[in-house]
Chains A and B, each alone.
Chain A
Amino acid sequence: MKSVNTRFYLLGERAAVLESRPPVDLVCQRRIWWLAAALRAQHRFIDIVPGMNNLTVVFDPLRQNSQEVLDQLSTQWQQAKQQQFEPREVRIPVCYGGKAGPDLDNVSSYTGLTPEAVIALHSSVDYTVFFLGFQPGFAYMGGLPDALITPRRAEPRLAVPAGSVGIGGAQTGIYPAQSPGGWQLIGRTSLTLFDPYSTSPSLLLPGDQVRFVPEPDHA
């Protein structure tokens, strides 16, 4: 039972947190997704936010007792199964390098791989969406090949264009909207990652399997 490695605590008056100790573990993350889905179906909490091997639930402290929320979270965690889904496979067409990926050369020189090899490796594996955060629809993805791990830029950019595909340490992700950002930008997609007026606003959801597909012109 993993619960020895799990702690439960309050964050302020209206949030309770389940936190599993590092390192990051996909088995644990699958249980978190399972629990998040189960809790969402119960309609008892205001927000249910999976993080990296942790889960935060937001409740109304005038209606729910915080200790009871913690106890419920603990009980349900004992019963949590690993989320088994028909993995949703999302293919993201990417224009790599050039103006679309101004840091491709940085990644290339840091990793010692040619730009072509960086593109081939980045688009050769399935990534898993661990959670969404930072900005609407921004998916933190795990599964980056070790050879591509590159530190963030020393100076974050003030404006990263929407659709930019980047590498931040051992993670990869896509900026849904223009924003400041420090990740190494290696390409860009023309897909809409987030649309607040859609019934399903975020293209990517936790648990999704993502594969980047180089656009033919730039492959």
Chain B
Amino acid sequence: MLEIIRPGVQTTVQDLGRHGFRHLGIAQAGALDQPALMLANRLVNNPADAAGLEVVMGPVAIRFHRDGWLALTGADFDARLDDTPLWPGWRVPYLTGQTLHLAGPRLGMRAYLAVDGGIDVPLVLGARATDLRSNFGGFAGRALQAGDLLPQGQAIVHLNRCGAWTRPWSPVIRLLPGPEYHEFDDAVHHAFWQKEWKVSSQSDRMGYRLQGPPLHRSKPHELLSHGVLPGVVQVPPNGQPIVLLADAQTTGGYPRIASVIEADLWKLAQARPGTRLHFVKTTLDDARQAMQQWQFERNRFEWSAYGR
């Protein structure tokens, strides 16, 4: 069992999200920095889609009620296990009664904690992710509070200390042009790719609002409501783009100027309000290559941690 002593700004139980229910209006939810959660899980020998904790800013304190292994990934939160400093991207053993302290991020804004056996909350519609907007899944359908006791899955027998290389963050985000890209003229395209985009403080797990030059279509017309996904960049009438994230609604009606490629979506999860981003146009082939590179890194880690 894990005991939440201090939950920080927003700590939630998340896995890789809810899939197969978008036609019922059910959001994906799940970790915003998916590579980080997958890596944390694999470090402690959980399946990649086990549930862990997504921690937003600090300070956070969590007490352990049995012996086991933990891994922290994502932003470096200046962590200590009792008094011992911890490196992010490593798995380390913990003992009953020890407390994990996360002071807060030096860079980025979300950390992921995986414990051996995973957080064993019930599956709701195929996932353990917390749906914060509709209040189901995760732990009681809400962000964690002081005093919450989280059930933990079956422990594993034996591990050695081990670390993994984590990718450095960069403000360069690669995107594919979207279905309505050509409804914007050359000057708008130029602004979209050349200017800086500042992450607004009005950003959350549903979407990141970006501030920059206003983007307007040459001949605006109403679109019929259509399916949208995490990564899609919508342009509402005020011309300020919104990048949809895991908790986004399932359908929308604003023009879709572009989509963030899967391999770069995690960078948004780690971009605090005020961060300046740059957009780079890419191709489907390059997006595929970036995803294969990520798979390669994962496989290499599996080999070093568990291979013989």
- Residues of A with Cβ closer than 8 Å to B? 9-15, 17, 19, 22, 24, 36, 46-56, 58, 61-62, 66, 131-138, 140, 177, 179, 194, 196-197, 201-202, 206
Contact = CB atoms under 8 A, between A and B. Distances in A.
B295 interface: yes
B227 A10 contact: no
B23 A47 contact: yes
Contact of A52 (B21, B226, B287): B226
A134 B224 contact: no
A47 B259 contact: no
B288 A13 contact: yes
Chain A to chain B: the 10 pairs with minimum beta-carbon distance, closest first = A133-B251, A56-B227, A12-B259, A49-B227, A52-B224, A51-B226, A47-B22, A132-B25, A196-B136, A202-B24
Given A13-B176, A135-B25, A196 B295 contact: no
B224 to A, nearest CB: 4
Given A13-B291, A50-B23, A196-B136, A201 B178 contact: no
A15 B229 contact: yes
Interface of B: 19-27, 124-125, 131, 133-137, 176, 178-179, 224-227, 229, 231-232, 249-252, 256, 259-262, 284, 287-288, 291, 295
Contact of A51 (B135, B137, B224, B260): B224
B22 A54 contact: no
Nearest to B25: A132
Nearest to A36: B23
Nearest to B249: A134
7 contacts: A13-B262, A14-B229, A47-B22, A47-B227, A52-B224, A194-B25, A201-B125
Contacts of A50: 23
Contacts of A132: 23-25, 250
Nearest to B262: A13
Nearest to B136: A196
A58 B131 CA distance: 20
Contacts of A62: 291, 295
